[in-house]
Amino acid sequence: MPNTPTLAAFDFDGTISTSDSLRAFVHGLVGQGRFATGALRSSPWLAGAWAGICDRGTAKAQFLSATIGGMQRRELEDAARHFATHELLEMIRPEMLDRVREHKRRAHRLVLVSASPSLYLNVWAAQAGFDAVLATELECIDDRFTGRLASPNCWGPQKVARLKQWLGDEERPATVYAYGDSRGDREMLAWADRPWLRGDDGALPPLPPHGADS
Contact 172, 192 (CB under 8 A): no
Nearest CA to 100 among 124, 78, 82? 124
Q: Which fold has domain 6-197?
A: Rossmann fold (3.40.50)
- CA 85, CA 148: separation in Å to the nearest integer? 26
- CA 124, CA 50: separation in Å to the nearest integer? 28
- CA 114, CA 98: separation in Å to the nearest integer? 19
- CA 107, CA 204: separation in Å to the nearest integer? 19
The gap between the terminal CA atoms of the chain, to the nearest Å, is 15
Mean of pLDDT over the chain: 94
Q: What is the pTM of this model?
A: 0.93
- The pairs formed by 161-166 with CB atoms below 8 angstroms and a separation of 24 or more are 162/113, 162/134, 163/9, 163/111, 163/113, 163/134, 163/188, 163/191, 166/111, 166/132, 166/134
Q: What is the pLDDT of residues 58-115, one digit of tens each?
A: 999 999 999 999 999 999 999 999 999 999 999 999 999 999 999 999 999 999 999 9
Contact 131, 124 (CB under 8 A): no
The pLDDT value recorded for residue 209 is 75
- CA 198, CA 11: separation in Å to the nearest integer? 11
Q: Of all residues in the chain, what percent carry a pLDDT higher than 90?
A: 86
Residue 95's φ and ψ, nearest 5 degrees, are -70, -30
112-121, 151-160, 186-195, 197-206: which range is least confident on average? 197-206
| Helix H or strand E encompassing 164 | helix 157-167
Q: What is the pLDDT of residues 14-41, one digit of tens each?
A: 999 999 999 999 999 999 999 999 999 9
Taking the domains of the chain in order of start, what are their residue ranges? 6-197
Q: What is the mean pLDDT of residues 200-211?
A: 80
Per-residue pLDDT at 1 exceeds 90? no
